[in-house]
Amino acid sequence: MIPSRRRGAAPAPAALPRRAPRPRGGVLPAGLLATVAALGACGGDATRTADSTATTPPPAVPPPAAGVPTFTGAVVRRLPHDPGAFTQGLFFADGQLYETTGIEGASEIRRVNLETGAVLQRRAVPAPYFGEGSVALGGRLYQLTWRNGRAFVYDLATFAPRDTLSYFGEGWGLTTDGTSLIMSNGSAVLRFRDPRTFAVRDSIVVRDGASPVSQLNELEWYKGEILANVWQSEQLARIDPRTGNVTGWIDLTGILPASERSGREDVLNGIAWDQASDRLYVTGKYWPTLFEIRLQPR
């Protein structure tokens, strides 16, 4: 989820060398691999600058494996979203919308008014931690950090700290099936973790046909399946949590018009399903809009 400037952080000193993108576990579906390699990885190293998205069109829809359907997201309504939010995690709990944001020294956990986009409650995450994906389970809010190997646990109602859990490697996206925490790290692997100890209970490799799908980022539990944003694309994968098979693709190409983009790493990242109302929402980093969408077969 990060360009050469570490996802919007201050530019590195000139003396530091810039590193080329490195491969992560698995490959993207056909048609996306070259695009993502050019744009850089979430949480990985990259060669592009933080404002290069201003003129870069979104990646094309990858051809799905045989028999895998593609859906579009019809916009039901547009709602305000904080254009200064570097969105990392987005979810509903008890009818309330929560959001976590990134950037070292500017990361936060937030409770947000759905209709106005106003921040109703917030807690800062101190540097050097870079906030990542988040979810609520059992009255607790869990938040990953990018490269610090720490998951912070807060009381959902008060945002008071409750625990700090550890893991190896990078943290990207987080959701839950109601029992385990499901975590991405930018590879094709999703890990199911114990919410008390963060120990790995199980894992799946996400595949579109025979091809592993890497760059899995923001996650959302949706009607018994996992939705996953593929970093630096406008595609969501629909994933069977038992097998890891991609059962469909959601193409959101161009949902935010170019005229409304700032060029500040404003990529799609943020999926939230309000189970009570059965409404699905998406947004992106630095996006001024939160979209309620309805899935439609292409």
Band (42; pLDDT cuts 50, 70, 90): very low
pLDDT for 63: 65
The CA distances from residue 181 to 34, 40, 47, 198, 204, in Å, are 31, 27, 32, 8, 13
What percentage of residues in the chain have a pLDDT greater than 90?
A: 74
| Sign of CA pseudo-dihedral 152, 156, 159, 160 | negative
Task: Give the count of domains, the chain.
Answer: 1
- Name every residue whose Cβ is closer than 8 Å to that of residue 171 and which is 6 or more positions away in sequence: 132, 133, 144, 145, 146, 149, 151, 183, 185
What is the amino acid identity at position 230?
V
With 60 as the cut, is the pLDDT of residue 44 above it? Answer: no
Given this model, what pLDDT does residue 58 score? 45
Task: Give, in degrees to the nearest 5, the angle at Cα 32 between 30 and 37.
Answer: 125
Task: Output the pTM of the full model.
Answer: 0.81
Residue type at position 283: T
For residue 139, tell me if it sits in a domain.
Answer: yes
Determine the average pLDDT of the residues in 121-146. Answer: 97
pLDDT, averaged across the chain: 83
* pLDDT, tens only, 227-281: 999 999 999 999 999 999 999 999 999 999 999 988 888 899 999 999 999 999 9
- Compute the residue count for the chain: 298
pLDDT for the residue 251: 96
At 37, is the pLDDT very low, low, confident or very high (cuts 50, 70, 90)?
Answer: very low
Q: Is residue 288 part of a domain?
A: yes
Q: Pick the more confident residue, 24 or 278.
A: 278
Full residue range of the structural domain in which residue 268 is found: 33-297
pLDDT at 18: 25
Per the domain annotation, does 104 fall within a domain? Answer: yes
Predicted confidence (pLDDT) at residue 190 exceeds the cutoff of 80: yes
| Whether 233 contacts 32, CB under 8 Å | yes
Tokens of 260: 């409304």
Residue 89's domain is classified under what CATH number? 2.120.10.30
Q: Please tell me the predicted confidence (pLDDT) of residue 67.
A: 79
Residue 7 lies in a domain: no
Residue showing tokens 């008390």: 196
φ/ψ of 24, rounded to 5, equals -115, 170
Q: Can you tell me the mean pLDDT for 63-68?
A: 74
Beta carbons of 65 and 210 less than 8 angstroms apart: yes
Strand 246-251 vs strand 70-80: parallel, antiparallel, or unpaired? parallel
Over 90: is that where the pLDDT of 26 sits? no
Q: Report d(CA 29, CA 32) in Å as an integer.
A: 6
Asked if the structure places residue 20 within a domain, the reply is: no
Question: Taking residues 204-226, what's their average pLDDT?
Answer: 96
Q: Which residues, in sequence order, are CB contacts of 14 under 8 Å at separation 6+?
A: none
Whether residue 150 is contained in a domain is answered as: yes
pLDDT recorded at residue 62: 56
d(CA 174, CA 219): 6
Contact 261, 210 (CB under 8 A): no
